[in-house]
């Protein structure tokens, strides 16, 4: 039975009222710092003395470049990660299969025809359909939002609609990337363009997934730079006629086989109980996918390598997963859920790093309040590196499918100031990342995963997760 938030809240309240079970939590929480201070310091010392996370990410991204689902570069990168995990002496290193969507960009271009000829930088949005070989040539209608589109609905037919939506936040503004093509197609537009979803201007387009609606004919959809969106908007305001030619070879092939990459340190006392952590190995087909999300899988992998190197074996198993296909399908997260359906009840915690491996501030946590108190206490061990803030709410796309089955979830929180400057663009490269900050991310992941995996009692799920 699917659990609604209301039912979870009700059951949590019941757990609180039940008393004895919950009453243990404060005592356990107080014991965490004295019990784990020394080992946490060892893990942090090792992480900060060891800059191999950045080097490893540089090698991954230099060797294989970007890693779109269905691409050969992704499969070669997964092989390299698995080989590296074996060379590190990690345990139970293996791949778990997942079928992934296979979208191919092909050649693409956007030419301004009127009022003056110019080639505009563009990126087709992931999942978009292509144009006929000769492209789509049409006048442009610029709108700032859906309201403005509705107000000019009668002018959209036969045109290319440009959404010049101001950046509010990624979560808010990405709506236009996700569903803009459908909104424009419903009014008879022949294609759509998007002001890139980014707070920072480098005259560079940012790609990302877009979605169609089975009831509306799909139209080609591409991102342009913030600067060019503003220019086209000014031209329209001046009353100039704007005509562009959009050419895209984008198309979707049959699903392709891919894999989640898995490695472990098997638990000393309760090997069937698991803390799973990781990031996603796939990326968009631009830049080198360094911060989204090569850095995420590398810091989790490094955290496990450090535990191994220090000879640490917690009570429970710590498992690292490089999930596949976060960007355009979440098939890796779903495959993990299905492959481990029988043991999800024994998944104590899932941690994802997918917000850029910048300076870490702590974690966001989704689970019972009694579990929040425990991970909050664990987080305090990270005060030395300023990563001790554990906030309510958090997770990640790859762990979402198992969180929906009751596994407590957690996302690494980092300084997000610059993440969306580079996100899904050609500028997502390793040079933007700092070795020291990446090492701090490794330290945070290592301490959180190790301590939660070693606690005498499993992280309390509360009555909501009873099975
Ligand atoms: Zn990502």
Phi, psi of 192 (to 5 degrees): -140, 150
**By the 8 A CB rule, do 372 and 400 touch?**
no
Q: Show the tokens assigned to 184.
A: 């424009």
* pLDDT of res. 56: 98
Tokens 């360094």 correspond to 290
pLDDT, mean of residues 408-431? 97
Q: How confident is the model at residue 51 (pLDDT cuts 50, 70, 90)?
A: confident
| Alpha-carbon distances of 268 from 34, 272, 274, 327, 351, rounded to whole Å | 21, 10, 12, 35, 21
Measured in angstroms, how far is the CA atom of residue 268 from the centroid of ligand 1?
32
Q: Which two tokens stand for residue 387?
A: 């990563």
Q: Check residue 11 and give its pLDDT.
A: 39
Residue 354 Cα, ligand 1 centroid: separation in angstroms? Answer: 5
For the record, the structure tokens of 39 come out as 């080992």
Position 163 pLDDT exceeds 60: yes
The CA 180 to ligand 1 mean position distance, Å, reads 21
Percent residues over pLDDT 70 in the chain: 93
CA of 289 to the centre of ligand 1 (A): 9
* CA angle at 323 for the pair 358 and 381, rounded to the nearest 5°: 45
Give Cβ neighbours of residue 376 (< 8 Å, ≥ 6 apart).
29, 390
Average pLDDT over residues 138-148: 98
Which residue from 90, 75, 109, 229 is spatially nearest to 163, judged by alpha carbons? 229
The pLDDT score that the predictor gives to residue 9 is: 40
Distance 280 CA to ligand 1 centre (A): 7
Query: Cβ distance 37 to 451 under 8 Å?
Result: no
**pLDDT at residue 71, as a whole number:** 98
Kindly give the distance from the C-alpha atom of residue 251 to the centroid of ligand 1, in angstroms, as a whole number: 22
Q: For residue 72, how far is its CA from the centre of ligand 1 (angstroms)?
A: 19
Instruction: Write down the catalytic residue from 326, 352, 400, 440.
Output: 326
pLDDT at 50 (0 to 100): 79
* Per-residue model confidence as pLDDT tens digits over 322-355: 999 999 999 999 999 999 999 999 999 999 999 9
Q: Taking 80 as the threshold, does the pLDDT of residue 22 lie above it?
A: no
User: Is 326 one of the annotated active-site residues of the chain?
Assistant: yes
pLDDT score at 16: 39
pLDDT at 58 over 60: yes
**What is the distance in A from the centroid of ligand 1 to the CA of 33?**
32
Rounded CA-CA distance 388/402 in Å is 25
Average of per-residue pLDDT values in the chain: 93
Residue 335 gets the label, from left (phi > 0), alpha (psi -120 to 50) or beta, of: alpha
> Which phi and psi angles does 81 have, rounded to 5°?
-65, -45
Q: Which residues of 261-297 are buried (b: 16+ CB within 10 A; e: fewer)?
A: bbbbbbbeebbebbbbbbbbbbbbbbbbbbbbbbbbb
Q: What does the pLDDT look like over 176-210, one tens digit per residue?
A: 999 999 999 999 999 999 999 999 999 999 999 99
10 pLDDT more than 50:
no
Distance CA 90, CA 265 (A): 6
* For residue 278, pLDDT beyond 50: yes
For residue 264, give the 3-state DSSP assignment: strand
Find the mean pLDDT for residues 310-318.
98
Distance separating alpha carbons of residues 208 and 423, to the nearest angstrom: 9
Tens digit of pLDDT for each residue in 66-103?
999 999 999 999 999 999 999 999 999 999 999 999 99
Distance 257 CA to ligand 1 centre (A): 20
Residue count (the chain): 467
| Least confidently predicted of 3-17, 233-247, 312-326, 375-389 | 3-17
Which residues on adjacent β-strands are paired with residue 103?
Answer: 252
- Give the integer Cα–Cα distance in Å for 194 and 163: 5
DSSP 268: S
Residue 21 has pLDDT above 70, yes or no: no
Cα 134 to ligand 1 centre (Å): 34
Measured in Å, residue 412 CA sits from the centre of ligand 1 at 12
Work out the pLDDT band at 418, boundaries 50, 70, 90: very high
Ligand 1 centroid to 284 CA: how many Å?
9
Output Rg (C-alpha) for the chain, integer angstroms: 24
Asked if the peptide bond before residue 293 counts as cis, ω within 30 degrees of 0, the response is yes
Rounded average pLDDT over 228-243? 98
Beta bridge partners of 317: 274
Q: How many angstroms separate the CA atoms of 205 and 221, rounded?
A: 13
Distance CA 109, CA 121 (A): 8
How far is 384 from 426, CA to CA, in rounded Å? 35
Query: Helix, strand or coil for residue 98?
Result: strand
Contact 355, 422 (CB under 8 A): no
- Cβ neighbours of 185 (radius 10 Å): 21
- Whether 237 contacts 202, CB under 8 Å: no
């Amino acid at each position: 039975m699917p659990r609604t938030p209301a039912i979870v809240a009700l059951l949590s309240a019941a757990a609180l009222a039940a008393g004895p079970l919950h009453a243990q939590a404060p005592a356990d929480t107080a014991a965490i710092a004295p019990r784990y201070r020394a080992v946490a310091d060892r893990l942090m010392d090792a992480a900060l003395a060891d800059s191999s996370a950045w080097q490893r990410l540089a090698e991954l991204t230099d060797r294989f470049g970007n890693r779109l689902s269905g691409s050969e570069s992704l499969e070669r990168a997964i092989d390299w990660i698995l080989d590296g995990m074996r060379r590190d002496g990690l345990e139970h290193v293996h791949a778990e299969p997942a079928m992934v969507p296979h979208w191919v960009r092909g050649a693409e271009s956007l030419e301004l025809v009127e009022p003056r000829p110019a080639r505009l930088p563009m990126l087709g949005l992931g999942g978009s359909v292509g144009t006929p070989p000769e492209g789509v040539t049409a006048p442009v209608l610029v709108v700032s939002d859906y309201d403005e589109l509705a107000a000019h609905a009668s002018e959209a037919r036969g045109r290319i609609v440009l959404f010049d939506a101001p950046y509010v936040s990624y979560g808010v503004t990405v709506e236009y990337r996700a569903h803009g093509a459908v909104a424009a197609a419903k009014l008879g537009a022949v294609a759509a363009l998007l002001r890139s979803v980014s707070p920072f201007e480098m005259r560079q387009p940012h790609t990302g997934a877009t979605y169609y609606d089975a009831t509306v004919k799909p139209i080609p959809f591409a991102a342009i730079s913030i600067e060019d969106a503003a220019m086209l908007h000014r031209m329209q305001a001046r009353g100039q006629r704007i005509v562009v030619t959009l050419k895209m070879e984008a198309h979707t092939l049959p699903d392709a086989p891919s894999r989640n990459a898995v490695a472990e340190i098997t638990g000393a006392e309760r090997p069937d109980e698991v803390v799973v952590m990781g990031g996603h190995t796939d990326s968009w087909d631009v830049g080198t996918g360094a911060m989204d999300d090569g850095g995420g899988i590398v810091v989790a992998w490094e955290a496990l390598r450090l535990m191994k190197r220090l000879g640490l074996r917690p009570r429970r198993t710590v498992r690292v997963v490089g999930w596949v296909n976060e960007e355009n399908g979440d098939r890796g997260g779903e495959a993990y859920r299905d492959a481990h359906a029988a043991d999800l009840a024994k998944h104590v915690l899932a941690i994802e790093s997918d917000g850029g491996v910048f300076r870490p501030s702590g974690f966001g946590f989704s689970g019972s309040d009694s579990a929040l108190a425990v991970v909050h206490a664990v987080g305090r061990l990270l005060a030395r590196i300023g990563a001790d803030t554990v906030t309510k709410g958090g997770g990640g796309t790859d762990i979402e499918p198992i969180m929906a089955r009751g596994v407590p979830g957690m996302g690494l929180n980092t300084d997000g100031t610059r993440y969306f400057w580079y996100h899904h663009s050609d500028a997502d490269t390793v040079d933007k990342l700092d070795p020291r900050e990446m090492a701090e991310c490794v330290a945070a992941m290592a301490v959180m995963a190790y301590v939660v995996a070693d606690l005498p009692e499993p992280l309390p799920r509360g009555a909501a997760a009873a099975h």
